[in-house]
Each structure stands twice: as structure tokens, then as C-alpha cells.
Amino acid sequence: MTGSKITIADLRAVPHFSADVADRVWRAWWKPKGVQLQHIAELVGESLGGGPMPAAFVAHRGPTFMGTASVIASDMEERPQFTPWVAAVWVDPPFRRRGIGGTIVGHAARAAFAAGSDTIYLCAVPAKRSFYQRLGWSLHEQDVGDHRLDVFTLKAI
């Protein structure tokens, strides 16, 4: 790969980025809760299996990790009936505001639809509401759980 082209790849095709995915997800959401990095690394490792879910996707430019998003069965204990979820959306700070987040979320959503889902879910802090709505996600619920998250849906077209 040459030039400045950004690639969105299934983690199965670029498994050397597994440690980067685990590190970013862990630092963003799990380290503050006392969860060990090894546990998150094991969960990310499940995305290397053969099924459509879980799956992780990586935005990168050659060897440079830029961001990630996953498709998982469940992302909220409060809503176990909802499945699947686009989750663990992360873009490294130097690469934000360049469309990478929207691109990788769209890629993960298409993967979930391709696996047969007609509705997919995503949760986020309210500050991210306008971002996801601009991407076409519909606000489904507000103030869910202890973290008072928004829950969004996206329907297959």
C-alpha cells in the first residue's frame, strides 16, 4: 500500500492490529473500571474467528492504526433483547474530524446487515448524538443505564 489511502479492513485480514484495537478499547472504556487489558485482548481475539460476529474493523494507512469499530451480539446489559450492536467505535485523536469515524461505523453496519440483520443498535454518550444522527442512525432511547446512554437504531434499506 502506498500513498495516503486509508483502508478499512476486517481485523481477520490485519490481525497484527489486534493489540492496537484492544489497547484503544481498553483505555477508552475498561481501564477506568479496573478491567485488565488481557481480558479485552481476549475479547478482541474472538473477532478473529470464522463467523460474522463478533467482528472488528480497523481503519489504517499502511502500518498506521487510525481507528476501529466492532459488531458484537450485545453491548448493553440493560437491553439484552437488542442484537447486533456496532460497538467500540474509536478513532485516534490525530485522525478525528476527517470522516474516518463515519466511514468505519458505516463499514461495521454494512457487515451486520450482510450477516442477515435488518435492525442494528449502537449506544453512545449524549454528546455524540448529532454525530450518529448525521450518519443516519435514529435515536431509539435516552438515559439508559447508569451511564445514561443514548441507544440508536439503523434499519437495513
Copy the grid coordinates of residue 14.
490485519
Cα separation of the two ends of the chain? 33
The single residue listed with the C-alpha cell 458484537 is 72
Q: What is the pLDDT of residues 106-149, one digit of tens each?
A: 999 999 999 999 999 999 999 999 999 999 999 999 999 999 99
Q: How many Å apart are CA 16 and CA 19, to the nearest integer?
A: 7
Domain limits of the chain? 7-155
Provide the pLDDT for residue 52.
87
Q: How many Å apart are CA 46 and CA 41, to the nearest integer?
A: 9
Q: Running DSSP on this structure, what letter comes out for residue 137?
A: P
Handedness of CA 110, 59, 94, 86 (dihedral sign): positive
Provide the pLDDT for residue 8.
97
Q: What is the pLDDT of residues 56-102, one digit of tens each?
A: 999 999 999 999 999 999 999 999 999 999 999 999 999 999 999 99
Q: Which of 78, 141, 147, 153 has its CA nearest to residue 109? A: 153
For the domain bounded by 7-155, which CATH number is listed? Answer: 3.40.630.30
pTM: 0.92
Q: How many Å apart are CA 89 and CA 71, to the nearest integer?
A: 10
Q: Residue 1 — pLDDT band, cuts 50, 70, 90?
A: very low
